[in-house]
Structure 1
Amino acid sequence: MLQPADGKVGTRELFAIFLISIGIKLSDGTPMLLLEAGKNATWVLPIVAGGIILVPTLLILSLLKKYKNKNLVDIIFIVTGKYIGFIICLIILFAMIFANALNQRTTVNIISTMFFPTTPVVIIFLLLIGSSFAVARVGIEAVGRTAWVVLPYIKVVLFLLFLLIINEIHFEFLFPIAGPGLDVLIKESFSYHTIFFEFIMVALFFPWVRDHKSYKTATLLAVGFIVLEMTITMAYFVMLFDYPQVAHVAYPFQQLTKMLEVGTIVTSYEGFFLGFWIMAAVVRFSIYLLLSAFIVCSMFQLKDFKPILLPLACITLLVGLIPENQTETTFFMRDVFLLQSSWYFVTMLPILLWITYKVKERFNV
């Protein structure tokens, strides 16, 4: 039964937002980075990284319960003060814009390379960001409901894909289980736990969630589901392509869809999966646009986020067109600048905020 429209999202809509915004990373450039780090034991990384991100996630849940009807930016200003808070929020805003731009550029590169090699990159980018802007403009409630509607189709299609190619997998490719060694896996899990940064950033939506219980339930369910999904998917990649060959596969998920053969009438199914993948990508990037707009609105006490969306979309487009090639986008800017620097700061932020809050509470500051 549908909840009446009240401008807010409930447990299932927030759950869908998490699953789409994080789960779709399995189909972009993220697997290439993880496979290079974890080798044949890459499937272990999401498990350890999920345990790591759970700590700041629980702390942000605690802070959200303490500061009712406040989002992440509000809490940062309350705990750290006006000037330090402004600097922190400015860093987060820049990171969010660059994340949206670079992730969209990676998606554009995949579409261009795998499906439309003759279409100019800028045209594909314009269509993608234009669609994301149109979805974001309808607001968080509509985006959440859209995410919940498309989520079952996306996950069913993914399940069928794995089921139909199960005869192609080789369990022996997973051995040795520890891959490069437990010490390496733990180290790389710390480095790449930032792939789950949305568990922190979505706290910007908290005032638009019906209650703290809904937010907490959706968040914890999403952590468990996404860790399981990523673990299984990364194991599939290794069992299908083997290591080190899999490290040379540019886009494992897209290559996986090309491997599917069912019957003799249809010889290619990647176009079928492309449609669902693009739907998920548009929802994901509309969420990123909303997050950026909410940061600006909270920093400058603006009441309407819609006028902010178009300038942010234009900036995203311009930044996304800066990288000249796929290697520069995925292996340098996304890996070094975002995953191992900017988002590391964001995922550690709840720990710093919680400690500062406790110190101020202890000394009645």
Structure 2
Amino acid sequence: MGYRVAVVGATGNVGREILNILAERQFPADEVAALASARSTGDVIDFGDSGTELKVKNLEHFDFEGWDIALFAAGSEVSKLHAPRAAAAGCTVIDNSSLYRMDPDVPLIVPEVNAEAIAGYRARNIIANPNCSTAQLVVALKPLHDAATIKRVVVATYQSVSGTGKAGMDELFEQSRNIFVGDSNEPKVYPKQIAFNVIPHAGDFLDDGSTTEEWKMVVETKKILDPRIKLTATCVRVPVFVCHSEAVNIEFENEITADEARAILREAPGVMVVDKREPGGYVTPVEAVGEYATYISRIREDSTVENGLSLWVVSDNLRKGAALNAVQIAELLGRKHLQKAA
């Protein structure tokens, strides 16, 4: 017997990707409900490439009683209203919003990194999914931390517009087109033009000059991986539709060479190393779209610190950064805790 699974925010970018991945990975679901707001109620969406279509149901009126897992992909306000309601009905919530990530009673999970922490879900019946830029970073850091103990990380992100949602993707497309034909390209979603530009600003500014996106990377990495790690981030929005990239500099307590790191990462779960020291011997966002792996390239030693490495990390933010990680959490939950499927 399989699970009854609800996908909240099923008509959005991440919600649709969750449905795709549930189908691709043949998640053991006897029934899948696609939930969204009233304006989408009655719409029909595909359940991946399975040939099955789902009629969208109104989240406001949905009864979670008797459902096993709810994957939320509709933002913090929706999660605030409906995640506790689902959890109280006995349906375990896996939430993609930022609402519960730093709640001490809610585990923040990346299955390749801290699978054992999922047992804490029983306190609230809620599990949090990390920020997309954090998820790919900790997948890369975990095996290196186990090998040589990370002291400090400096990361600069190159985040795609899909991280802002459909509106960000539409703005990049429309501005690019308008520039070519000579039409107005006034920004609406972003504070400055995103087409043919980069914007060193993601999230809201905090009193110390950092942004909320940068703060998330710091506190989430500490919660998931190790609270002793010092991390500083600069998050940059770039004119790429899908996939986040990161330039990562790491300082370790113990000695580790680039060759050792390369060998460790080749064996690490969820990681694909593509690192040839030649033109094109690295991964860019274009190659990573639609893929499950976190790709690591440009692994090299940093001679400016005693035990330092630099690397380049690329991952599909709609997949590993959100939908895939959520489904992997659901798979882990089923294997280790719910144990309902045959």
Fold match by TM threshold 0.5: no
Higher relative contact order (CA 8 A, sep 6+): 1
Structure with the larger helix share:
1
Greater percentage in strand: 2
